[in-house]
């Protein structure tokens, strides 16, 4: 690797030169099936022709003007996202962490509005919310925080999927103003909570006048078989953050607000130079359009269920396998032992997978993956685990 790069990553010694659909090719011409999709980013796969054309055309027309002026595609995208989610307003950022920063700032403004000087946000163990100082402080993983003290204040941690723990905080801490959780924990190991978890949290938030803030950066934009994971339940959040798959690889994030969270920001309270620029918002608009036109979300449900049922059959009785779980095309296979070495072993066989939380194989294939391609992934992963 180049000595000129800061050593924040330890990449595999593979360099991709092109992609198409679920496939990537490296410098030597070797083909890989990509079941990582740039960490849940390339939902429509690589080099989707409609998205590529939109980006190219926009690049030739207008890339950036700043938020000093109105931006047509940004306005259109905000309306589309509100229509799909039932939320009321959108702020655009360039990444997931920045979208969560906006959510955290909203919660603090909400607290101030109620005379709470030092507002607290409840967050979960095992969560991941980003790498900026506020979002790493919200993150429930010591490795992400190590070395970066002093952390940002104002977060109270509870176990994920533990409603009683949240109720206990409500009894003792009058400075709480919001809960921030992922509907399914991604980096934490594809942890799917109880079916009524979000409903219960919604109820507690309503009872205590707190904001329910959902980090849908990984679960949003079709990944779990709905546009947004909260749509698997009957509730609506007050704040929701998006990023990853929204631009299919063009950096864009969004913080959406509804109801009492809608009008907390006023001119001058938040901003971003690049956020929501014409290129990124045109790309995202096109992504949403293609997802709709190509019935991509239906495919996520069908193939997601297929993955889980096939893995359960093929890995039945394999003693290394502790648990097989998922939601849509967010799939986790938890093993008895740490299994980071499987990433390189899979890549040798032409398959890209991810391992998270030490012992969990995480599959996040493009949302357009076909049944035949899924069979290919299932076969390779099953063989690797059995070896």
Ligand X SMILES: *Cc1c(COP(=O)(O)O)cnc(C)c1O
Spatial separation of the C-alpha atoms in residues 257 and 263, rounded to whole Å: 8
CA distances for 211 relative to 75, 108, 161, 300, 311, angstroms:
25, 10, 18, 30, 38
Q: Decide the pairing of beta strands 211-215 and 351-352.
A: unpaired
Do residues 298 and 222 make contact, with C-beta atoms less than 8 angstroms apart? Answer: no
Binding test (CB under 6 A) with ligand X, winner from 122, 217, 363, 364: 217
H-assigned helices in 315-359: 342-348
Q: Which stretch binds ligand X (CB under 6 A): 84-92, 145-153, 212-220, 226-234?
A: 212-220
244 is catalytic: yes
Spatial separation of the C-alpha atoms in residues 287 and 50, rounded to whole Å: 9
Does 128 contact ligand X by CB under 6 A? Answer: yes
Q: Name the active-site residue from 92, 155, 215, 265.
A: 215
Spatial separation of the C-alpha atoms in residues 102 and 87, rounded to whole Å: 15
Does 130 contact ligand X by CB under 6 A? Answer: yes
What is the SS3 assignment for 14?
coil
- The DSSP code for 46 is B
Position with the least CB separation from ligand X: 96
The residue (of 200 and 218) whose beta carbon lies closer to ligand X is 218
Does 129 contact ligand X by CB under 6 A? Answer: yes
Does 238 contact ligand X by CB under 6 A? Answer: no
Q: Name the active-site residue from 91, 92, 128, 311.
A: 128
Number of chain positions touching ligand X (CB under 6 A): 15
Structure tokens given for 41: 């980013």
Closest separation in Å from C-beta 214 to ligand X: 10
Spatial separation of the C-alpha atoms in residues 53 and 23, rounded to whole Å: 19
- Pick out residues in 184-203 that bind ligand X (CB under 6 A): 186-187
Spatial separation of the C-alpha atoms in residues 268 and 218, rounded to whole Å: 29
The kind and range of the H/E element at 33 are strand 31-34
128 is catalytic: yes
Q: Which stretch binds ligand X (CB under 6 A): 17-25, 90-98, 173-181, 263-271?
A: 90-98
Binding test (CB under 6 A) with ligand X, winner from 71, 85, 169, 182: 182
Does 236 contact ligand X by CB under 6 A? Answer: no
Structure tokens given for 239: 């704040």
Q: Decide the pairing of beta strands 211-215 and 239-242.
A: parallel
Does 215 contact ligand X by CB under 6 A? Answer: yes
CA distances for 126 relative to 41, 100, 137, 240, angstroms:
21, 16, 12, 19
The residue (of 200 and 241) whose beta carbon lies closer to ligand X is 241
The residue (of 58 and 100) whose beta carbon lies closer to ligand X is 100
The residue (of 131 and 349) whose beta carbon lies closer to ligand X is 131
Q: Name the active-site residue from 91, 230, 244, 265.
A: 244
Does 223 contact ligand X by CB under 6 A? Answer: no
215 is catalytic: yes
Closest separation in Å from C-beta 53 to ligand X: 25
Sketch the per residue contact string, 141 through 180, with ligand X: x for CB under 6 A, - otherwise: ----------------------------------------
Binding test (CB under 6 A) with ligand X, winner from 96, 189, 247, 366: 96
Transcribe 125-188 into DSSP letters. TT----SSHHHHHHSS-HHHHTT-PSPPS-EEEE-TT-HHHHHHHHHH-TTEEEEEE-SSBTTT
- The DSSP code for 275 is T
Does 97 contact ligand X by CB under 6 A? Answer: yes
| Site residues for ligand X per CB under 6 A | 95-97, 100, 128-130, 182, 186-187, 215, 217-218, 243-244
Q: Which residues are catalytic?
A: 128, 215, 244
């Amino acid at each position: 690797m180049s000595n000129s790069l800061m050593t924040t990553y330890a990449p595999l010694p593979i360099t991709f030169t092109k992609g198409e659909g679920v496939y990537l090719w490296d410098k030597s011409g070797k083909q890989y099936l990509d079941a990582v999709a740039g960490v849940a980013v390339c939902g429509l796969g690589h080099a989707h022709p409609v998205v590529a054309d939109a980006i190219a055309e926009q690049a030739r027309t207008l890339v950036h003007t700043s938020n000093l002026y109105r931006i047509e595609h940004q306005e259109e995208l905000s309306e589309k996202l509100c229509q799909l989610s039932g939320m009321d307003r959108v702020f655009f950022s360039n990444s997931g962490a920045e979208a969560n920063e906006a959510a955290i700032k909203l919660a603090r403004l909400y607290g101030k509005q109620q005379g709470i000087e030092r507002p607290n946000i409840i967050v979960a163990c095992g969560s991941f919310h980003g790498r900026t100082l506020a979002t790493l402080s919200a993150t429930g993983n010591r490795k992400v925080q190590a070395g970066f003290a002093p952390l940002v204040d104002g977060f109270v941690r509870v176990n994920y999927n533990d409603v009683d723990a949240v109720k206990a905080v409500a009894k003792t801490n009058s400075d709480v103003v919001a809960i921030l959780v992922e509907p399914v924990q991604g980096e934490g190991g594809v942890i799917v909570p109880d079916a009524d978890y979000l409903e219960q949290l919604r109820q507690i938030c309503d009872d205590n006048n707190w904001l329910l803030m959902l980090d849908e950066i990984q679960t949003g934009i079709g990944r779990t078989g709905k546009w947004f994971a909260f749509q698997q339940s009957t509730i609506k959040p007050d704040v929701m953050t998006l990023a990853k798959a929204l631009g299919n690889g063009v950096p864009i994030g969004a913080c959406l607000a509804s109801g009492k969270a809608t009008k907390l920001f006023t001119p001058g309270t938040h901003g971003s130079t690049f956020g929501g620029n014409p290129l990124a918002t045109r790309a995202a608009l096109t992504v949403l359009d293609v997802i709709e036109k190509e019935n991509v979300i239906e495919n996520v449900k069908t193939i997601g269920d297929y993955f889980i049922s096939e893995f359960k059959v093929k890995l039945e009785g394999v003693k290394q396998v502790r648990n097989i779980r998922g939601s849509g095309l967010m799939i986790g296979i938890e093993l008895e032992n740490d299994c980071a070495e499987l990433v390189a072993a899979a890549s040798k066989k032409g398959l890209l997978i991810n391992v998270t939380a030490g012992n969990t194989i995480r599959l996040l294939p493009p949302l357009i993956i076909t049944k035949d391609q899924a069979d290919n992934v299932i076969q390779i992963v099953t063989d690797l685990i059995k070896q």
